[in-house]
Structure 1
Amino acid sequence: MEFRILGPVELEVSGEVIGIGPLKQRSVLVPLIIDVRRPVMLDALVARVWDDSPPSEVRNVLYTYVTRLRRILEAAERRSGEKIELRRQSGGYLLDVEPDLVDLHRFERLMARSRRVTDEEERARLQRQALSLWRGTPLADLRGPWFGRVREWIERRRLEALSEWAGTELRLGRPLTVIEEFGRVVTEQPYAEPIIEQLLLALSSAGRPMEALELYAVARRRIVEAIGAEPGPSLRRTHEAILREEVAVARPAGTHQGVPAGLGEDFSLSP
């Protein structure tokens, strides 16, 4: 069984996605998933789901959704054999389920574990396992200010994890793996400096410093145009290291010299 929020909100039981109701009903469940095994106060739950426009008799509406969710979760418990309980507690509601059954919490656990291991191959394996849990835009089907803030926070966690994974792959001498993945990511996240920095290092490590310098010029221009300031010090230091030819070249078997896949027209490295 798995509660999924790293993409559209879903509940998977025994390989089948189980319907968890209409949009507002799913919206009630998500804060309880995120704060699993911690009570979410009634007022906080109402504010997260309805923002400043709760319906009249909102507590009755909320109680109806909770009652329906309980029935769904009880059926999931019977099918999966996993303990699930949605109960009233401390002036709110609490979802009691093993945190590892929530994709977001498993992602965080795997990343935390990867930071504790000393073997780089094992670290890379754990990081890839964590990143494989992503299915698209987090909470893709939910709307509202609170869900938007949560979505942004989760996306930042993914970018941080991607940057950590890239650092591991580069230490293992596999820059092409990073180039293949990050060409697409940089196009989607053109202002994510840690991602740009790792792609610069990967290109330079693969023996393609001129492409790295061209990418930096494009990224710098876009950042300056967007925020009116230069890139941060870490990205600038990496750029300077490439200029001084201080990045070691790793050439695993199969190194090629083509343009990184996925950079897209906006990040084209051709003249």
Structure 2
Amino acid sequence: MPSSTRRSSRNGRPRRPSEEGNSGARRAHWASVRTAVRGTDQASRTPLRLSGRHALAATLTPAHTPTRTPATSTDHSTQHDTGTGTGTGTEATAPPDREPERDDPHTPLYLSVLGPVELTYRPPDATQASSGRQTGPLVISRIPRLARELLACLAAHPKGATRDYLVATLCPDSQSLTPETTLHSALSRLRKTLIDTTGDERTAEIIGTGDRWTLDPSTVTADLWALQATADPCTDHAPERRRIQLRKVVGSYRDLYAADLPGLWAHSLRETTRRKFLEIINELVALDVERGDDRAAVQLLDRARTMEPRNEAIARTLITLHLRAGHLDHAEAVYDLLRVELEAIDAEPDPRTRELLTAALQP
């Protein structure tokens, strides 16, 4: 191999002979790369857990020598939607009788907290035609902030939480001599909003109050419950069932947990949920690769990379899959984007990441 092909460029990627002296084109290239990553979410650099069956980058090898492909982009998911999934001390699993789903028709209300908090009403088929209201799913708007915080907090605790815990968590700065009154007022306004908007008295039962406040699982389903229900590891005799379960969670994930709520109480839950979602992506990639569906694995990794642009484990696995498919241009683009992201925090890619491209260029 000629020495010129072994010489590294300033970013650490192996330089091709055709790139020698082409400084103007290189400057234009880096300008376009920086434009592409401008505005990207500034997620942490926490790597995926790539050990055992998930050690994809270490075990995958290119099927043939990569060649340049036309400059077309890989399929990318448009949704935003990661690590170890350790929960909070009070985290609980979903109700065991039935796995909650986004399209679950059994409850009149559906609560989305994987992203901005959103409550959707789904009228029963029998009343859709006779009702003068909008038919089909209806997003409940104008829910006060404290009521949205209450919904999101209870979604994270399916087994419920005491009133004292909720007051201390959601109303820490309350100037009232009886801050629990503030919480009860928020619940009353929520119930009134639901009845006025839907005309369905059942929606008033969304939250049960007693020794522990809980979301009523016969009235509302939360997307977070499905994510929590994935805690059990995949069994070897049912990988396809597991894959379907995880795909449903990925489909409902819109953004960070309660992304529109500024309260400090949500920060640890937000991080736990983010890492759990990345763990789901990681497991799905392994399942897709095992069944020979590298294209689906690439799409998942592209989505994860949107969330974690500085996560080098994600980039390495994505580069490896592109090289195995013979898409050297795509692999280089992933490396370039990673390099720019790390440069912003005065870091650089690990030598192992550069070596993937170096090895691909060797005859």
TM-score by length of 1: 0.68
Q: CA deviation at 1:9?
A: 1.4
Shift of 1:81: 9.1
Equivalent in the alignment of 1:175: 294
The answer to whether the 8 Å contact 2:234/2:242 transfers is yes
Indicate whether 1:66 and 2:174 are aligned.
no
User: Counterpart in 2 of 1:34?
Assistant: 156
* CA-atom RMSD in angstroms: 3.8
State the distance in 2 between where 1:77 and 1:112 align. Answer: 37
Match of 2:210 in 1: 88
Q: What's the CA shift string for 1:204-240, capped at 9, x where partnerless?
A: 2212357536634653674476375875xxx94x775
Contact 1:20–1:26, Cα closer than 8 Å, also in 2: no
- Structure with bigger helix share is 1
Is the Cα contact below 8 Å between 2:149 and 2:261 reproduced in 1? yes
Equivalent in the alignment of 2:285: 166
Within-5 A mapping of 1:6-155 = 6-14=114-122, 15-19=137-141, 21-42=143-164, 44-51=165-172, 53-57=173-177, 58-69=179-190, 84-89=206-211, 93-97=213-217, 101-109=221-229, 111-112=230-231, 115-116=234-235, 118-155=237-274
Rounded Cα–Cα distance in structure 1 between residues aligned with 2:334 and 2:163 = 48
3-state DSSP of counterpart to 1:101? strand
CA distance in 2, matches of 1:147, 1:206: 41
SS in structure 2 of the partner of residue 165 of structure 1:
helix
Whole-Å Cα distance in 2 between the matches of residues 10 and 100 of structure 1? 12
* Counterparts in 2 of 1:179 and 1:223: CA distance versus 1, 3 Å: same
Shift of 1:197: 3.4
Which residue identity is paired with 2:186?
Y
The SS at the match of 2:214 is strand
Unaligned runs of 5+ residues in structure 1 are 246-271
Give 1:136 deviation, angstroms: 3.4
Q: Is the 8 A contact 1:6 1:133 kept in 2?
A: yes
The one-character-per-residue Cα deviations of 1:47-89 (angstroms, maximum 9, x if unpaired) are: 43244x2232322212211333455678989666997541131
> Does the aligned pair in 1 maintain the 2:281–2:300 contact within 8 Å?
no
TM-score with structure 2 setting the length: 0.53
- Residue 35 of structure 1 and its aligned partner are, at CA, apart by 0.7
Deviation at 1:108, TM superposition (A): 2.7
Aligned: 1:206 with 2:314: no
**Identity score, percent:** 24
Q: 1:190 to 1:59 in 2, by over 3 A?
A: same
The amino acid across from 1:95 in the alignment is: L
Contact persistence 2:208–2:216 (CA under 8 A): yes
Q: Following the alignment from structure 1 to structure 2, what is the Cα–Cα distance between the partners of residues 79 and 164?
A: 42
For the 8 Å contact 2:191–2:204, the answer to whether it is kept is no
Is the Cα–Cα contact under 8 Å of residues 322 and 330 in structure 2 kept in the other structure? yes
Could you tell me how far 1:163 is from its partner in structure 2?
1.7
Change (3 A) 1:73 1:82: closer
Q: In the alignment, residue 227 of structure 2 is paired with which amino acid?
A: F
C-alpha change, 1:77 and 1:3, in structure 2 (3 Å) is farther
Amino acid at match of 1:25: A
Q: Give distance in 1, aligned partners of 2:336 and 2:325.
A: 19
Higher alpha-carbon deviation: 2-11 or 181-190: 181-190
The count of aligned residue pairs is 236
Task: Identify if the C-alpha distance between structure 1 residues 100 and 80 changes in structure 2 by more than 3 Å, giving closer, same or farther.
Answer: closer
In 1, Cα distance between equivalents of 2:328 and 2:118: 43
Change (3 A) 1:229 1:214: closer
CA distance in 2, matches of 1:11, 1:216: 40
Q: What displacement does 1:123 show? A: 3.3
Identify which of structures 1 and 2 has the higher relative contact order when contacts are C-alpha pairs closer than 8 Å and 6+ apart: 2
Contact 1:32 1:94 in 2 (8 A): yes
Q: Is the 8 A contact 1:84 1:96 kept in 2?
A: yes
- In structure 1, what residue type is equivalent to 2:208? L
The structure with the larger Rg is 2
Q: Which ranges in structure 2 are unaligned for 5 or more consecutive residues?
A: 1-108, 123-136
What is the Cα deviation at residue 96 of structure 1?
4.0
Aligned to 2:102: none
Q: Cα gap change, 1:244/1:152 in structure 2, threshold over 3 Å: closer, same or farther?
A: same
